[in-house]
Structure 1
Amino acid sequence: MRVVGQCVSAVLVLFAAVFGCGEAEVIDDILGSLSRGVAFLERQHDHINLDGVVGFIMLQAELKESVRTWPHSDPVSWAQRTSAVELVKRLDQSFEKAVAALQLNDPKYYTEFEPLLSWSFWLVPQSWSSTDVSLVYQATMTTECYDEQLSDKCLTLLLGTWKMNGTPCIVTKPCRDTMTQFGCPHYSLSHQLLYFMIGKMKGCTNLLKGDTRPSRSNMTEQNYEKIFCSNMMKTNHDIITSGLTEQTVDIFIENILICGLAGFSDFYKADWLQHILRLQDEEVGCFGRDKSIISQIIGDELLEQLQPHRRVKRREKILQDGCSSHMTAVAVGALGGYLNYYLTEQDITKRPLT
């Protein structure tokens, strides 16, 4: 019996060395949170707006990559992989219903951004880099320099959805000037980054062609991505220093989602993960739930039914249970990024570049 016990102990030591118990527990926490988030989508698929669905699509891309490259075959890790596979199946079923609802509720917006509604559009990082504090702006504007209508137009020009069978990868001067402007804060900054990411994923080359400014002559798309994420890192540090509030938590998580998807591993901080996990509503599985405004939202929904041609608001939609469609979407997308990062971290060939 003593020999058997020694053998079991040796196996446990070997297992702990291969896959630390602490990290296994963190992955369990992420998978549990994602399961609750997917359950929320399953219930609310008819009501989540396009931005909300895109966040879940990003999650699907990250989950599929995680499942494909899952680095371990021990019982605990294999059980976790099985849970991830089940999440992928549930998402596939919910997306079909959610996308059909989007097409019915807002056909114009659906047509313009249909390419984003496929998990295969979203490229998951295969290598990692870090932000650079020396790239932080000396001064930042106090108001957004982001215009939703112009941003939408610039993205449709990249996607080729600006008209039926439109040519993709078109970059106009107003789009280039807006998307390369330095000093923009918050959502303007994240949408500048998203513009370059979507251009890359669409296969557009030379997004900066035609920029004649001497000071930008050597700038590449990758340079802009690093500048934007370095400033988004500064934003997140400032938010944490001041304390997360209802006004800042959404952009805090959005920065983690987008810069993580852009391959900046230093956004995947362990304490930031805990902040996100604590924000989830245990009852319904969403993020950003405000129970005090549920009755007000029901009234707004009734008003929307009386005005069926009113355009669905893009950036946010509060659902009848008081949940934030946008914050839930960016949170599950960010959690999927954490999962993929933690798994690739265990593969020494994919560790962050220094």
Structure 2
Amino acid sequence: MQTAGFGLVLVAAVLVRTRAEVVDDILGSLARGVSFLELQHAHINLDGAVGFVMLQAELKEAVRTWPHTDPVSWAQRTTANALLKRLDQNLDKAVTALRQNDPKYYREFEPLLTWRFWLTRQARRTSDPSLVYPSSMTSECYDEQLSDKCLTLLLGTWKTNGTPCIVTKPCRDTMTRFGCPHYSLSHQLLYFLIGSMRGCSDLLKGDTRATRTNMTQQNYQEIFCSNMMKANQLIISDGLTEHTADIFTENILICGLAGFWDFYKADWLQHILRMQDEEVGCFGRDMNVVSQIIGDELLEQLQPHRRVKRREKVLPGLYGCSSHMTAVAVGALGGYLNFHLSEQDITKRPLS
């Protein structure tokens, strides 16, 4: 009996150590991501800034509710807290640069640039394979301009002091259309998620379709994430590529925010961690662009009198990095961090 008990203790110790190692991996990756932000805050676009703001919300939640367990866990909390302070400082700089560089876009999406907007913790749920579409379209079924317009109508930023939670028929029809693939699908979910976080309770008001009579906002989120789960499973079975990595990670980020914690799979975490450039700290680095930047720099060195700002035509200052890919990756990793901390201590006792 004592031997069996000792064996259980050993198993428990291995599980705790493994979880601690995973948290270390996540914190290490996030530290490199924040270092990238420190260097490139002046060049991060709005998508990039929003991803880091999502991370900021996740880190604040993690530090606040870090489990009372052991010295290793407490040391990790200290690391996370220091990381959060660095992130706070550099996000302020990035947001200031955004306000100056693109004031119109900044004004329209300003509500998304505060961590409190994203702090709403959704109830835990899982995707449902029975909700997967029998077939999906092969091409995107949304227009980015319409998507942006629909979001500003929700946020109330469509004009100065605009009324929020406005849903036009084109927006409702587009955001509730079934069978959409890829980014159309993730933006449909994002629309409902942002609506929920903005406090919009009547997104479906005015929908007269008989087949949608009893549909709720929660129902749509379940349908969308169930199809995003299927999409990610297909991406993995086909082999993750640089072309599918971005939507794969975006699906994890947004469905995780919506409370679908079955997206936080251990092997999917490893895929995300491997996408990071160890040297620069970003995700989705295009080495073809890096080669072009290096070529431009050599040209400038050989012909100083021809110092034109060629790099701004590529990705200014970003070392060939994808601002969007980096954004969704750090946001998703923040979700993974809270998932693992919650699994470690399901009581989630807030720190006094």
After superposition, residues 213-252 of structure 1 pair within 5 angstroms as: 213-252=209-248
Decide whether the 8 Å contact of 1:161 with 1:168 is kept in 2: yes
After superposition, residues 191-202 of structure 1 pair within 5 angstroms as: 191-202=187-198
User: Which residue pairs with 1:168 in the alignment?
Assistant: 164
Distance across 1 between alignment mates of 2:315 and 2:129: 34
User: Which residue pairs with 1:312 in the alignment?
Assistant: none
**CA deviation vs aligned residue, 1:180-205 (integer Å, no higher than 9, x gap):** 00000000000000000000101111
Q: CA RMSD in A?
A: 2.2
User: Which residue pairs with 1:302 in the alignment?
Assistant: 309
Unpaired runs of 5+ residues, structure 2, are: 1-5, 297-307
Matched, 1:344 2:342: yes
Code of the residue aligned with 1:266 in structure 2: it is: D
Distance across 2 between alignment mates of 1:196 and 1:232: 15
- Could you state the TM-score of these two structures normalised by the residue count of structure 1? 0.88
Code of the residue aligned with 1:240 in structure 2: it is: I
**CA deviation vs aligned residue, 1:214-266 (integer Å, no higher than 9, x gap):** 00000000000000000000000000000011110100000000000100011
Decide whether the 8 Å contact of 1:45 with 1:98 is kept in 2: yes
Distance across 1 between alignment mates of 2:223 and 2:122: 20
Change (3 A) 1:126 1:195: closer
After superposition, residues 195-210 of structure 1 pair within 5 angstroms as: 195-210=191-206
User: Which residue pairs with 2:32 in the alignment?
Assistant: 36
User: Which residue pairs with 1:75 in the alignment?
Assistant: 71
Distance across 1 between alignment mates of 2:64 and 2:120: 12
User: Which residue pairs with 2:301 in the alignment?
Assistant: none
User: Which residue pairs with 1:332 in the alignment?
Assistant: 330
The alignment partner of 2:135 has SS state of coil
User: Which residue pairs with 1:259 in the alignment?
Assistant: 255
Distance across 1 between alignment mates of 2:280 and 2:86: 17
Distance across 2 between alignment mates of 1:297 and 1:143: 32
- Could you state the TM-score of these two structures normalised by the residue count of structure 2? 0.89
* CA displacement at 1:124 relative to structure 2: 4.6
Code of the residue aligned with 2:278 in structure 1: it is: E
Aligned match for 1:24, one of 12, 20, 24: 20
Distance across 2 between alignment mates of 1:319 and 1:135: 43
The alignment partner of 1:251 has SS state of helix
User: Which residue pairs with 1:310 in the alignment?
Assistant: none
Decide whether the 8 Å contact of 1:48 with 1:317 is kept in 2: no
User: Which residue pairs with 2:82 in the alignment?
Assistant: 86
**CA deviation vs aligned residue, 1:43-83 (integer Å, no higher than 9, x gap):** 00000100000000000000111111111241100000011
**CA deviation vs aligned residue, 1:301-326 (integer Å, no higher than 9, x gap):** 936969xxxxxxxxx96754111111
Aligned match for 1:50, one of 43, 46, 51: 46
When structure 1 is superposed on structure 2, of 35-44 and 285-294 the one drifting more is 285-294
The alignment partner of 2:203 has SS state of coil
Matched, 1:120 2:127: no
Distance across 1 between alignment mates of 2:316 and 2:174: 29
Decide whether the 8 Å contact of 1:260 with 1:268 is kept in 2: yes
The alignment partner of 1:348 has SS state of coil
* CA displacement at 1:292 relative to structure 2: 2.3
* CA displacement at 1:95 relative to structure 2: 1.0
Distance across 1 between alignment mates of 2:315 and 2:266: 29
When structure 1 is superposed on structure 2, of 153-162 and 285-294 the one drifting more is 285-294
Distance across 2 between alignment mates of 1:141 and 1:297: 37
Matched, 1:275 2:249: no
Change (3 A) 1:50 1:204: same
User: Which residue pairs with 1:59 in the alignment?
Assistant: 55
When structure 1 is superposed on structure 2, of 65-74 and 100-109 the one drifting more is 65-74
- The total of aligned residue pairs comes to 330
The alignment partner of 1:283 has SS state of coil
* CA displacement at 1:173 relative to structure 2: 0.5
Code of the residue aligned with 2:332 in structure 1: it is: A
Unpaired runs of 5+ residues, structure 1, are: 1-9, 307-315
Change (3 A) 1:159 1:325: same
After superposition, residues 124-139 of structure 1 pair within 5 angstroms as: 124-125=120-121, 127-139=123-135
Decide whether the 8 Å contact of 1:317 with 1:325 is kept in 2: no
